[in-house]
Amino acid sequence: MRPEILNPLFAEVEALAGVGPQVAKSLKRLGLIRVIDLLYHLPTGSIERLRVPSLTSEMIGRNVIVDLTPIDLRAPRSGRGPTRIFASDATGNTIALVYFNNPGWAKKQLPLGDKRTVSGKLEAYGDEWQIIHPDVTEPGKGPEPALREPVYPLTEGLTNRRLGELAALALERSPDLPEWIEPSLVARDGWRAWRPALGEAHREPTADEPRRRLAYDEIFANQLALLLLRQSARRKKTTPLAGDGRLTDALRLPYELTIAQQRVAGEIRGDMAQERPMLRLLQGDVGSGKTLVAMLAMLSAVESGAQAAFLAPTEILARQHHATLLGQLDSIGVRVAILTGREKGKAREAVLMGLADGSIDLLVGTHAIFQDKVAYKNLGLAVIDEQHRFGVSQRLLLSAKAGRPPHLLVMTATPIPRTLTLTQYGEMDVSAIDEMPPGRSPVATRVISDERLGEVVDGLDRHLAGGGQAFWVCPLVEESEKSDAAAAEERARVLRLRFGDDRVGLVHGRMKGPEKDAVMARFASGELGALVATTVIEVGVDVPNATLMIVEGAERFGLAQLHQLRGRVGRGAGKSICLLIRGQQLSESGRARLALMRETNDGFRIAEEDLRLRGPGEILGLRQSGEAGFRVARAEDIVELAQVAQDDAVLLLERDGGLAGPRGQAARTCLYLFERDQAVGLIRSG
């Protein structure tokens, strides 16, 4: 149960005075649904105003507050164009107050001959001084604009002043909460208590100390939740899956495992042989051989009489994994099945029955394997591929599928900086495959201006004529699948005019599953020379003969995404090239991203830089996974404070009596405040 002291903060915004349906609707567009959402909707800066008796040229470009008397009104005859109200200050200077809509409102606010207090940015337009859309108050009626006003992220229907007033009302409802941070840490950094720090963060947006304190709070809540999750997992018992080696020995691989693969496989084998459930994150760069290591782990589970589940983030990847595993394991007697949203009717029923009676050893699938109707006879190991697409709650959901918690192996080909490993996977042991299999040569990367698009198409012509295959990835035009698909459709149309319909395939997220599979199969078989796609092919697609990757609008992609796309080539013996086509308008960060891609193939270095440039939420895909992200903490806060917060959380659990002690009760409130209360439930259920 959430502590009662927090209930006022989790009330809906309508509980605040003056918030009716219309204001609530505007707030909802900003994601502000509850009082606590308003509290943590912090200003990003402030407007500094100057209170002056009259205007001078030195004030141009400043925000001013001045008393003016309107003397003339000029409204556009056609109803179009600005309404201009001319007013004079105490020394007779004339200024134009300009409104681009609603002339009636302007006339009402600024009646001729009546003094008004006006505030806004003073600008020069030719010889004329003007303020566009000023704030207007009647002297003596209501407060003047503040000399310093916080600037909030806004939406239609909300002003800075209104949001500031609502934040003040939310602060009034905020209780004084007990301190959860270790006292010596509070003293060392001179931090104020939670409520005063929150108030100051709203009043003084540029002050670093209160915002840093609030960032620490949520990093601490996150670290404590992960430690509690780890503690809970380590208290549970499961079935050891040591395996007897019969299936592993029967497996005929065309290559030797690398030293790194052997080391990681040994770590996983050691975990699975214990009564304590394995909870391990496996990191490895694109093409380092994580899937092979996962397959060996699944074979150990099957050797021990258990079932294994392999969860992939997309249907394309699930079907590719299924085909690979079926091809390698069917001959040694391992029964492999697939379950995605596409399996219907009798095919689906057969899979569900096979899982329930144990006749299926290994299930590959997408989110469909989470569903309530999917029941396993003896799920012993769950493998989650591309872990950054799944959140902690989804890991727990999969774990709940077994009578006893299964061993859990999660994998990512997007190497995660150590700081983020700490903040998102702090409950896990971490393994890294830091060595590439022999024969994989680095992909040569070049950056080309879109002015040279014709040369790129000519180069593609030569590449296809020589028997090569190529990917052409289209940019995200807006953040919508629809426009993404439209860009790919147009590029495919243009390339088909040059190379013919039978040589150019198209894949995007709006296509039906069987349609996508058919195109991918034609490309994999070599029937298609070029595949035009959106980022639907980002993860896992394996066509060794494809040695050219063209990414259009490359500056619109993140570093990790570009690295994943580049990893689709360089999988065979041929020399591979990645062409990054950039637009004319390059931001500094866009230029830096493309320069780094040209410079290195090292995914771990790219991940560190991605964290610096884009921040943690984007890299981890928190919005996609539905996980609570960080409201206040920025990338630099996480880098600086994650280890401190983890040490503080360890101190609480090991020295200060855990959640049962006095500080623990305060920390419990902190967990509920940041909606990490699932961890409290875990500890209670034991």
- With bands split at pLDDT 50, 70 and 90, how would you rate the model's confidence at 397? low
Q: Rounded distance, CA 350 to CA 337, Å?
A: 10
Mean pLDDT of 408-435: 77
Percentage of the chain surpassing pLDDT 90?
55
pLDDT of residue 640: 87
| Structure tokens that stand for 414 in this block | 């997007």
Residue 467 has pLDDT above 90, yes or no: yes
Mean pLDDT of the chain: 87
Question: In the prediction, which pLDDT does 682 show?
Answer: 57
CATH, domain 444-600, list 3.40.50.2300, 3.40.50.410, 3.40.50.261, 3.40.50.300? 3.40.50.300
- Does the structure show a pLDDT above 60 at 58? yes
Asked whether the predicted pLDDT for residue 270 surpasses 80, the reply is: yes
| Choice among 161-165, 387-391, 421-425 with the minimum mean pLDDT | 387-391
Nearest CA-CA partner of 554 in 508, 589, 594: 594
Residue 334 to residue 304: CA distance in whole angstroms = 13
Q: How far apart are CA 301 and CA 602, in angstroms?
A: 33
CB atoms within 10 A of CB 185: 16
Where do the structural domains in the chain lie, given as residue ranges?
1-44+152-173, 53-146, 278-433, 444-600
CATH number of 278-433: 3.40.50.300
pLDDT at 513: 76
Residue 11 DSSP code: S
Residue 124 or residue 396, greater confidence: 124
> What average pLDDT does this structure show over 481-496?
79
Predicted confidence (pLDDT) at residue 456 exceeds the cutoff of 70? yes
Q: Strand 128-132 and strand 123-125: pairing?
A: antiparallel
Model pLDDT, residue 7: 96
CATH class of this structure's domain 53-146: mainly beta
Please give the residue that has the higher pLDDT: either 191 or 422. 191
Q: Measured between alpha carbons, how far is residue 538 from residues 432, 551, 563 in Å?
A: 21, 11, 9
Q: Do domains 278-433 and 444-600 have the same CATH topology?
A: yes
Q: How high is the pLDDT of residue 536?
A: 67
HSE-CB of 152 using CA atoms within 13 angstroms: 24
pLDDT of residue 170: 97
pLDDT of residue 622: 36
Write the Ramachandran bin of 588: left for phi over 0, alpha for psi from -120 to 50, otherwise beta. Answer: alpha
Dist CA 200 CA 167 (whole Å): 12
Q: Which percentage of the chain shows pLDDT scores above 70?
A: 88
Question: How many whole angstroms separate alpha carbon 488 and alpha carbon 504?
Answer: 12
- The number of beta carbons lying within 10 Å of the beta carbon of residue 248 is 17
Q: How far is 568 from 541, CA to CA, in rounded Å?
A: 6
Strands (DSSP E) contained in 371-494 are 379-384, 407-412, 429-433, 444-449, 469-473
Nearest by Cα to 247 from 315, 194, 300: 300
Residue 598 structure tokens = 């040209």
**Sign of the CA dihedral 534, 536, 542, 543?**
negative
CA atoms of 581 and 558, how far apart (whole Å) = 14
Q: Which of 200-214, 361-375, 535-549 has the lowest mean pLDDT?
A: 535-549
For position 398, what pLDDT does the model report? 59
DSSP notation for 156-211: TT--HHHHHHHHHHHHHTPPPPPP-S-HHHHHHHTPPPHHHHHHHHHH-TT-HHHH
Q: Average the pLDDT over each of 359-373, 443-457, 604-618 and give the range with the smallest value.
A: 604-618
DSSP codes of every residue in 549-601: EEEETGGGS-HHHHHHHHTTSS-SSS--EEEEEE-S---HHHHHHHHHHHH--
More confident residue, 404 or 619: 404
pLDDT at 620: 39
pLDDT of residue 479: 44
Instruction: Classify residue 286 as left (phi > 0), alpha (psi -120 to 50) or beta.
Output: beta
CA-CA distance, 680 to 672, in Å (whole number)? Answer: 8
Residue 548: count other Cβ atoms within 10 Å of its Cβ: 22
Q: Is the pLDDT of residue 619 over 70?
A: no
Q: Determine the Cα–Cα distance for residues 169 and 39; give it in Å rounded to an integer.
A: 9
Look at residue 490 and tell me whether its pLDDT is greater than 80: yes
pLDDT reported for residue 508: 85
Q: Within a 10 A sphere around the Cβ of 342, how many other Cβ atoms?
A: 17
pLDDT of residue 628: 46
Give the residue, 544 or 358, on which the prediction is more confident: 358
Least confident of 65-74, 108-117, 269-278, 597-606: 597-606
Q: What is the pLDDT of residues 195-232, one digit of tens each?
A: 999 999 999 998 999 999 999 999 999 889 888 877 87
Residue 673 phi/psi, 5-degree rounding, is -60, -40
Domain spanning 1-44+152-173, CATH architecture: Orthogonal Bundle (1.10)
Among the residue ranges 154-158, 421-425, 449-453, the one predicted with the least confidence is 421-425
* Cα(316)–Cα(300) distance, integer angstroms: 26
Instruction: Label residue 120 left, alpha or beta by phi (over 0 means left) and psi (-120 to 50 means alpha).
Output: left
- Distance, in Å, from the CA atom of 641 to the CA atom of 219, rounded to the nearest integer, reads 7
In whole angstroms, what is the distance from residue 273 CA to residue 263 CA? Answer: 16
Sign of CA dihedral 249, 251, 295, 260: positive
CA distance 563 to 115: 63
- Asked whether the predicted pLDDT for residue 387 surpasses 60, the reply is no
475 and 487 Cβ atoms separated by less than 8 Å: yes
Averaged pLDDT for residues 591-611: 85
Locate tokens 């006339």: which residue? 107
Structure tokens at 27: 């707030």
63: phi then psi, degrees, rounded to nearest 5: -85, 125
Q: How far apart are CA 529 and CA 470, in angstroms?
A: 6
* Contact of 432 with 283, CB cutoff 8 Å: yes
d(CA 410, CA 107) in angstroms, rounded, equals 65
